[in-house]
A and B are shown apart, each in its own frame.
Chain A
């Protein structure tokens, strides 16, 4: 079951954000979406999630149109991890993650013991079980991001789609999120995430998709697409490339000083 966008025109009623976009995500694969601010990353993400209808073109999941799925069917296949934000009400971490079970319950159902056990398991898996009873408004930004990831996992989806999961995280939590992304793909999930840091794509993704001004600039395995010349073209700014010949690894520094 592949998530695929065909010849998408994306955007809002009064504003086209991107044109002629073809994108595919297979189970077990990690795809990183890179590009400058305002280039259409988040809009493309929301289109693939079925939250924003494409202006033209089609989004398909397996052999069905995404728009043919009911909202709860869709939520059992695609989970969304938004950028962490402050909630209006001081729900406990457990209550937030329990909301991930919405698509598995009927409209009038209270959370079951099985739901609570699932939530406890996901919190355990991400190493934040100790936060369970804490108010979501009183934990750090990095912890919130992990809580939202736990909520996505509680949906038991096939695909996890994350909007800048490492933004606003400290160095340690960035590493933790990238490790979780690798674990998700090892468990057979397809993962799509946006990032501003090519190093994060190098570290966690199999393939990269470069988007600028709503157009695809390049796509392919991270080792082939993420090179200095491509990144300089993508961001319109100088980039320095650092290579470790022994480990056959590459990293990038922004600017030239």
Chain B
């Protein structure tokens, strides 16, 4: 490992730590960073802290779940996006390429139109994402072409468009006073309603999927070569591709199910990580996980603190992501060709 890539990993870690301190400190009830550290240290060491119980309560019960969710969703989307960019040999690919987000969106709006509970809506969204990607994969495998990866991408685009039309239809038919605002809000993405109970259905799939992708990260290097070359190097290409798609879909669907549609993280963060540690997926995936977590945490902190009403996350990531991406295209495009 070169020295610059070690520095890059440390920079990614530093971003996350600073983002964590700021996210715990900022809000309607301001807490100083030293109080944050004091509360966390007290929990870790078991000693009583001299910080007010109110501050501890805000940290553990109000900001804690939300911060953890932002860390998990941001890290998961960034890792899934990085893995997909390698798998599809294209740096402009995001984790919803195969329809995970649009499938989850259709699942969620259906859940809302049937007036289901919060957890049922999340389950619908999660299953919607997984079913959509499974359908795309089935179509991609049924069409026997010379370039199976390209067929997958095209199937993803087509199914994504169909699911988008489905979402439009459900919104059109929905009750415009109760259901439509809920759908619109959900589709824009938010972590405002995160409770400790929400962390359980989120953390299971995210931890499993991210662990799988992290464990496979050296093989994703080989997977980014043309199929025949990867096979000649001894890689079981098809099973590995299925594993990466399954893991990425698991984390994307779980993220979208809890937080709604949050674009740009899975597209922009891998590029920043690549600029920091280089294109080798062995180093890139851990760096993307740290940076994605830090990035979404910063975005979410802005979303809940700059104005009296919450700004939807999907809108903020687009406002931050678009100019950043254009800047990246102009400046750092040399890290890929």
Contacts and interface: CB of A to CB of B under 8 A. Distances in A.
Interface residues of B, number: 33
A71 B228 contact: no
B40 interface: no
A89 B216 CA distance: 18
Interface of B: 2, 86, 89-91, 144, 146, 215-216, 218-219, 221-222, 224-226, 228-229, 231-236, 240, 278-280, 282, 334-337
A151 B91 CA distance: 24
Interface in A1-33: 12-13
A109 B235 CA distance: 13
B233 A89 contact: no
A182 interface: no
Interface stretch (A78-86, A118-126, A211-219): A78-86
A257 to B, nearest CB: 39
B91 to A, nearest CB: 7
Contact of B234 (A72, A91, A95): A72
B221 A95 contact: yes
Nearest to B282: A110
A103 B234 contact: yes
Interface in A76-110: 76, 78-80, 82, 85-92, 95, 99-100, 102-103, 105, 107-110
A137 interface: yes
Interface residues of A, number: 38
A78 B278 contact: no
8 contacts: A71-B236, A79-B232, A80-B232, A88-B224, A90-B279, A95-B221, A107-B219, A110-B218
Contacts of B235: 71, 102
B234 A89 contact: no
A145 B280 CA distance: 20
Contact of A89 (B2, B86, B231): B86
Contact of A88 (B91, B215, B231, B282): B91
A46 interface: yes
A51 B216 contact: no
A147 interface: no
A102 B222 contact: yes
A90 B337 contact: yes
A108 B216 CA distance: 5
Nearest to A77: B234
Contacts of B279: 89-91
A92 B335 CA distance: 11
Given A71-B234, A110-B218, 20 more contacts: A12-B146, A13-B144, A72-B236, A75-B233, A75-B234, A82-B226, A82-B229, A88-B336, A90-B278, A90-B279, A92-B278, A92-B280, A99-B222, A102-B234, A105-B218, A107-B216, A108-B218, A109-B218, A111-B218, A137-B336
Contacts of B232: 49, 51, 75, 78-80, 82
A38 B91 CA distance: 33
A65 interface: no
B233 A102 contact: yes
Given A13-B144, A82-B228, A95-B280, A90 B233 contact: no
Contacts of A109: 218
Nearest to A85: B226
B233 A87 contact: no
A109 B218 CA distance: 7
Given A88-B91, A107-B219, A108-B216, A76 B234 contact: yes
A2 B144 CA distance: 33
B219 A86 contact: no
A93 to B, nearest CB: 12
B334 A90 contact: yes
Nearest to A148: B229
A91 B228 contact: no
B2 A133 contact: yes
B132 to A, nearest CB: 26
A122 to B, nearest CB: 14
Nearest to B215: A108
B129 to A, nearest CB: 26
A155 interface: yes
A74 interface: yes
Given A90-B336, A99-B222, A107-B216, A46 B234 contact: no
B7 to A, nearest CB: 15
A141 B252 CA distance: 39
B218 A86 contact: no
A137 B224 CA distance: 14
A69 B253 CA distance: 37
A66 to B, nearest CB: 13
A80 B229 contact: yes
Most A CB within 10 A of own CB, among B216, B218, B221:
B218
Contact of A74 (B215, B221, B224, B234): B234
